Amino acid sequence: MDNAHEANGIEGVEIERKWRLSCLPPHDILGRGYLRFQGYLIAHEGFEMRIRNTRDGRFVLGMKDEGTIQRHEWERLVDQWAVKELWVLTKERRLVRVQYDVHIPPTPRLSIVTYQEALKPLITMECEFPSQEAAAAFEMPPWISVLYAREVTDDQRYKSKNLALTQKIPED
């Protein structure tokens, strides 16, 4: 959820592609990352409900249906008291990651994620698109291509909920 949507939440369709990277881009491209905590209240085939922090320290409750490149999603801000009550319910279904939001025009905003704890040293990159056509037309920028980017959009093992459930880096 970007800053424009955070005030009221979002409801709609997410169109996103995901890649596994072999290493991080140079620091001058990455900039400063932020620590993201994400816990799953419900995570089964067809549906997920999670709670996570935003880059400005607030928390959102989100729901998504099953899918690969396109999924329905819903997110709303959650009060701090609710976060404390809900977070304990996510035990053993959590992700801790550092997220870097990179935007070098004309490339869309890219989210580069380094996973922590049991999933370290996994690195992924995600990119959201306004349409299926824009997603299909996306060309990897040269500075990412050299990092051995392998697309994992259709690989269910790389879905965040599955990473949280297994706590294992998928073997290729």
**What pLDDT is attached to residue 146?**
79
Please name which of 80, 75, 43 lies closest in space to residue 58, comparing C-alpha atoms: 80
User: Which of 40, 100, 115, 158 is labelled catalytic?
Assistant: 40
Catalytic (active site) residue 100: no
Report the alpha-carbon distance of residue 172 to residue 162 in Å, rounded: 16
Q: What is the pLDDT of residue 8?
A: 60
Domains and CATH numbers, the chain: 10-166 (2.40.320.10)
Residues 111-123: pLDDT tens digits? 999 999 999 999 9
The answer to whether the beta carbons of residues 73 and 57 sit under 8 Å apart is no
- Catalogue the E-assigned strands of the chain: 10-21, 34-44, 47-53, 59-65, 70-78, 94-102, 110-115, 123-128, 150-151
**Tens of each residue's pLDDT in the chain, 172 residues:** 444 444 467 789 999 999 999 999 988 889 899 999 999 999 988 899 999 999 899 999 999 998 889 999 999 999 999 999 999 999 999 999 999 999 988 889 999 999 999 999 999 999 999 999 999 999 888 888 778 779 999 999 999 999 999 999 999 7
DSSP 110: E
